[in-house]
Each structure stands twice: as structure tokens, then as C-alpha cells.
Structure 1
Amino acid sequence: MKQIKITTEFIKLDQLMKFADMVDSGGEAKMLIAQGLVLVNGEICTQRGKKIRPGDEVEFDGQNYQII
């Protein structure tokens, strides 16, 4: 599991995917989230603006990311 450190209270899911280099662009992140290909805390998330906070886990493309 990869750890992603954020220095704010939260980060939006699409911004996190770009920040963590899961995707090349914000547009790509929005498309993948809308298609239901991203899991947050084990559940499919289709909200690109979902607030991700330390302690949350994001899964995409077979990789797990823990937000710290």
C-alpha cells in the first residue's frame, strides 16, 4: 500500500488522483471516477469532488493508497 501525505484537512478525489500521479490529467481522473473505477474505503465512488481525508484509503487500477 502506498502512502500519500496531504498537508490540508482534505483533498478532493479528482485532485488526489492527479497529485498522486495515478492519472496524467484532471480530465482523465473525472472520466475514471464517473465510470466507477475508483474505490474509496472499499466502496465505488462516482463523486469527483468527494473529500478525502487522512485515514481514508483509495483503490485504483489494482493499487491501494492510504492517505496520511
Structure 2
Amino acid sequence: MTEFKITGDFIPMIQLLKAVNLVQTGGEAQVVVEEGEVKYNGQVDYRKRLKVKPGDVVEYRGQQIKVI
């Protein structure tokens, strides 16, 4: 599991996927979220602008990211 530290209160889901290099572009991030390839705290979530906060876990293609 990878840990990702944010400086504010949250990071939008698509920005997080780009920041940890799981996708190359924001457009690619939007597509994988819309297609249900991303899990948020264990559940598939289709919200591109979902506010990911410290303590949340995002999973994409077997990679888990814990936001701290």
C-alpha cells in the first residue's frame, strides 16, 4: 500500500490518480473512474470530483493508495 500525504483538507479523485502516477492524464483518470475501475474505501465509485480525505483508501488495478 502506498501512502500519499495531502497538504489541504482533500484531493479530488482524478488529481490523486495523476499524482501517484497511476494514470498519465486527467482525461485518462476521468475515463477509468467513469468505467468503474476505481474503488474508494472498498466500493466502486463513479464520482470524478470525489473529495478524497485523510484516512481514505483508493484502489486501482491492484494498487492501493492510503491518503494521509
Shorter-chain TM-score range: over 0.9
The code of the aligned residue for 1:42 comes to: G
Query: Unpaired segments of 5 or more residues in structure 2?
Result: none
Query: Shift of the alpha carbon at 1:39?
Result: 0.2
| 1:11 aligned onto 2:8 | no
**TM value normalised by structure 2:** 0.97
User: In 2, distance between residues paired with 1:8 and 1:37?
Assistant: 26
What are the ranges of 5 or more consecutive residues in structure 1 without an aligned counterpart?
A: none
| CA shift for structure 1 position 20 | 1.2
Give distance in 1, aligned partners of 2:63 and 2:20: 12
User: Structure 1 vs Structure 2: percent identity of aligned residues?
Assistant: 40
Alignment match, 1:25? 25
Moved over 3 A (4+): none
Q: How does 1:1-68 map to 2 (within 5 A)?
A: 1-68=1-68
Alignment length, in residue pairs? 68
User: TM-score, normalised on structure 1?
Assistant: 0.97
